[in-house]
Structure 1
Amino acid sequence: MDEQTPRPPSRRTVLRSTAGAAGAGLGIGALGDRTAVAAPTTAPTAAPEAVTTPKRRGATMAGVPFEGRATVRVGIVGLGNRGSSMINNFLALPWVRVVALCDPVRTKVERASTSVVSAGQPAPALYAHGEDDYENLCARTDVDFVYVATPWDGHFPIARTAMLNGKHVGVECPAAMELAELWELVDLSEQTRRHCMQLENCCYGRNEMRVLRMAHAGKFGELLHGAGAYNHDLRDLLFSPTYYEGPWRRLWHTRLRGDLYPNHGFGPVAGYMDLNRGDRALTISSFATPALGLAEYRAARVPSGDPSWKETYVTGDRTISLLQTAKGRLIRLEHDVSTPHPYSRINSLGGTRGIFEDYPARIYLEPDHKDDQWGDFGAYAAEFDHWLWKEHANPPGGHGGMDYIMVYRLMQCLQLGLPPDFDVYDAATWTAPLPLSHASIKAQGAPQEIPDFTRGAWLGARAGVDSAKPS
């Protein structure tokens, strides 16, 4: 086990821990003590330690198209809040069939099956026989694509199993929790010739896609810096006895000190800067505040007999990371889910000709704007909105329609035999700040090298989310 990213108990253990305070105390208290902050015995290094890139075990998956098919057959693993909310996006597409559903909670599987049948599709196969029944779903011969929306520690083993069974797989954030797991996903994708994608819906937000096209059109001049975040007050949900199936998400705050959820902020900025497509992230330096917010919320809102009182929180209330790219650009990432503030992903991009900042959306570009007055970002919609948003002006689904746009585009690529907009190298890169921020914070902000998961392929330009509309 890599000391930098201590592994949590399995979801099975997490679910059992809700049965009583004793089990929670044994599982959580010990890990909390083990990850307590201690002063380093040596001064942090001035430069990151060189990372050895493993030898490629298969051909690159960059730019590799899917096999075209008339009907895309989907299996869904994980039917909690996220998984159950995404089913209707798949069912809205006439060339997609949901053929199998899996979750250890049978009532969730049955409820999702009702949605499938109500949409006019045949009843899907149901897998609800314990934590490992996803293996049987992945072994089916009538599944083309596996969608994974389980607790985080399930993402890697399920994605791994899907690829080994010849299935393309899309995983909710984050892709995995350890660098070694990210490398294994890369290797497996190359060896099996199956795509493994981080399903980063924020890359498909209307604002994000407009900024992307403007950046590629040169409206910002030479790009210099960007910022992204997941600043979202989740205290009510983290302590809710019903929102999550057990306390699995809150438990991560007892184990890792870094940015637990970098993908929503990093993915869009990575697209603006063409990371893995002409530039790449080289290093990350991370810093964290004390971890006070969850304990303070617990003291004010949670009864003294609740099992959560056995927990010791170590994740800083706000983490800030600075990444540098091969072209010298800077990216700032933030994470804060345990203090009160309005929702923000920051979503900022700056260059030699101006800057965009979101929440609220505002822009300042030369020669369009002057006198230190922000301009109207909406004025650029007609020229720079992505074709997906022009074709689907009022998309259904959650998060302002970006969920539907993401599913539509991915299923379109599968049907038409196109390369996906992002691939396993993006999944690994966007998730790497999770374990590396933890390592950097433990080393008092010492920079950590971000691996080149593409093994040199980043030097070549290629398409990404800024796609051309298929003919």
Structure 2
Amino acid sequence: MNEETPRQPSRRSVLRTAGATGAGIGVGFGGLAAEPASAAPATAAESVDTEESPATPPRRGATMIGVPFEPRATVRVGIVGLGQRGGSMIDLFLALPGVRVTAVCDPVKEKVTRAVAKVTAAGRPTPAGYAHGEHDFVRMCERADVDFVYVATPWEWHFEMCRTAMEHGKHVGVECPLAMELDQLWELVDVSERTRRHCLQLENCCYGRNEMRVLRMAHAGLFGELLHGAGAYIHDLRGLMFDPEYYETPWRRRWHTRLRGDLYPNHGFGPVANYMDVNRGDRAVRITTFGSPARGLAAYREQHMPPGDPSWKETYIESDMSISLVQTAKGRVIRLEHAVSNPHPYSRHNILGGTKGVFEDYPPRIYLEPEMHDDRWGDFTAYADWDHWLWKEHSNPPGGHGGMDYIMLYRLTQCMRLGLVPDFDVYDGATWTAPVPLSNASIRAKGAPQTIPDFTRGHWRKARPGVDSAKPGA
């Protein structure tokens, strides 16, 4: 989907973020409830105050925690956004058991035509096509033969599309990030609770093979009491952001003219939050972010873009590197990094440390006592027995990103077909995305801590399953 002028953060969002700044600076210490058995509880002196912020709005519906999908023989999917991501994910939806693509939507008619042809070429019934303007997704969401709406559009559309899908009775899953403003995250929580529809951040990195192995090892206690972790999105996107065919409009580069901070925290934050049972016995309390100067995109433009190119009218403010520290209710620390405008090999860091050892990714390596000593890293491949059952069942999944896309969609649609509780929910998506507006606010406030809302409204204290799920029928 394309939008020439994405809307700016609302005054209400800015005011709420500003209120969170003051709340974050004054957080103190206090006692906490016990943690799940996978890690030792923090002492009162080590715990962090988790009193709800005055900005927390009143609940408008019952919690969606623990709410299962309605079982169904076939999951009928409507896809909104048929660009680089959405167009490629059709192949995976067609490869899933018990899934049918019933509708596709994009304002570019040629993309809809190609998507319809791809579905019919696979021997499936012809899906309905929607290409009458940027808001034709509303008509798609009105269809009775769509159970789940998959959103793969520019970020500025995510909030509106998720809200529309739920208000029309559909469950919805969206690519990262869930929304761009704090008040939008709260509204998606409220709409999900009111409509009883799930709104899911489809974070594929939570289903990476390494991430799921470390998750099971952490929950089994192999790292001891968990103390710290790190996640990142470090990916040189300069060439793609100046490619008008890859990021049309070009919508993604334009966000670098609007916000500073971590624009894409989910890939790094989601897996580490799972390791630490965030929203399932612990919660993210505050974030502090610092950002470097913005230099990379302007330097790339100087070297590669011809005079008169529309990009010369842009002024980039997004930090080339943003570094955030998130503290949890139990005093743990999570480091998040975002860097897409400079030369650097791809990395998500993916680090987890505890009292018995540490795992570090890119490349994967592990150090656990008492097996390892003399400062020598161990072989992570030796821990293959700890692979999640999803990876044991699907050792060579189709699709990109090492198979994690397929594993994620397989598990999601399995939960929908069997009537299971999803592995994550709207509260997780809101938490993983909150660093977008809050890191921007922290940088503008010279690193002042920002309170991360408790989107669960107190339900985070109770341990519950997540991505470390039990095999159905096991």
Q: What is residue 221 of structure 1 aligned with on the other side?
A: 224
Aligned position for 1:167 = 170
**How far off is 1:12 after superposition?**
3.0
Quote how far apart the aligned CAs of 1:103 are. Answer: 0.3
Distance 1:324 1:211 in 2: 21
Q: What amino acid maps onto 2:436 in structure 1?
A: L
SS at match of 2:336: strand
* 1:3-152 equivalences in 2 (<5 Å): 11-14=2-5, 47=25, 50-152=53-155
Quote the offset at 1:11 in angstroms: 3.6
Letter in 2 for 1:329: R
- Percent identity of paired positions between Structure 1 and Structure 2: 72
SS in 1 for 2:378: coil
Could you tell me which amino acid in structure 1 is paired with residue 372 of structure 2?
A: H
Q: State the alpha-carbon separation in 2 of the partners of residues 416 and 114 from structure 1.
A: 30
1:432 to 424, 431, 434: 434
1:244 to partner: Cα distance = 1.4
Report the equivalent of 2:362: 359
Amino acid at match of 2:356: R
Shift of 1:51: 4.2
Of 244, 252, 258, 1:249 maps to 252
Structure 1 counterpart SS, 2:230? strand
Write the deviation string for residues 423-460 of structure 1: whole angstroms up to 9, x where unpaired: 00001000000000000000000000000000000000
Cα gap change, 1:306/1:353 in structure 2, threshold over 3 Å: closer, same or farther? same
The alpha carbon displacement at 1:304 in A equals: 1.5
Residue from 408, 417, 420 that aligns with 2:419: 417
How far apart, in 2, do the equivalents of 1:175 and 1:280 lie? 18
TM-score by length of 1: 0.91
Aligned AA for 1:398? Answer: G
What does 1:318-329 correspond to in 2, within 5 Å? 318-329=321-332
2:449 to 438, 443, 447: 447
The whole-number CA distance in structure 1 between the counterparts of 2:55 and 2:244 is 44
| Separation in structure 2 between the aligned mates of residue 134 and residue 79 of structure 1, nearest angstrom | 12
Count how many residue pairs are aligned between Structure 1 and Structure 2. 438
> Per-residue CA shift, 1:215-253, capped at 9, x if unaligned?
000000000000000000000000012111221000000
Q: For residue 345 of structure 1, what is the amino acid of its counterpart? A: R
Tell me the amino acid that sits aligned with residue 105 of structure 2.
C
Residue 14 of structure 1, CA deviation: 4.6
- Contact between 1:277 and 1:460, CA under 8 Å: does it hold in 2? yes
Cα distance in 2 for residues equivalent to 1:367 and 1:119: 53
- Separation in structure 2 between the aligned mates of residue 462 and residue 116 of structure 1, nearest angstrom: 38
What displacement does 1:193 show?
Answer: 0.2
Give the partner amino acid of 1:414: M
Going from structure 1 to structure 2, the CA distance change for 1:319 and 1:449 (only over 3 Å counts) comes to: same
Q: Deviations over 1:34-57 (max 9, x none)?
A: xxxxxx9xx999815844211111
Question: Cα–Cα, structure 1 residues 217 and 135, in superposed 2: closer, same or farther, change >3 Å?
Answer: same
The alpha-carbon deviation at position 115 of structure 1 amounts to 1.2
Query: Residues 329-340 of structure 1: matches in 2 within 5 Å?
Result: 329-340=332-343
* Runs of 4+ with >6 A deviation: 43-46
Q: Deviations over 1:308-366 (max 9, x none)?
A: 00100000000000000000000000000000010000000000000000000000000
- Rounded to whole Å, the distance in 2 between the matches of 1:46 and 1:171 is 29
Aligned residues of 2:288 and 2:326 also touching (Cα < 8 A) = yes
Question: Using the alignment, how far apart are the partners of 1:317 and 1:166 within structure 2?
Answer: 40
- The answer on whether the counterparts of 1:58 and 1:187 sit within 8 Å (CA) in structure 2 is yes
Q: How far, CA to CA, are the matches of 1:66 and 1:376 in structure 2?
A: 40
**1:350 matched residue in structure 2:** 353
Distance 1:281 1:151 in 2: 27
Aligned match of 2:467: 465
Asked if structure 2 preserves the Cα contact closer than 8 Å seen for 1:48 and 1:446, the reply is: no
8 Å contact from structure 1 (residues 14, 247) kept in 2: no
Whether the aligned pair in 1 keeps the contact of 2:3 and 2:251 (CA below 8 Å) is no
Cα offsets for 1:18-71 (capped at 9, x unmatched) = xxxxxxxxx99xx9xxxxxxxx9xx99981584421111111000100000001
Report how far residue 13 of structure 1 moved: 2.1
- Match of 1:254, SS? coil
Distance 1:109 1:429 in 2: 33
State the TM-score, normalizing by the size of structure 2: 0.90
Amino acid at match of 1:463: P
Relative distance call for 1:48 and 1:254 in structure 2 (3 A) is: farther
Contact 1:48 1:283 in 2 (8 A): no
Instruction: Give the CA RMSD over aligned residues.
Output: 1.7
Aligned mates of 2:275, 2:24 — CA distance in 1: 29
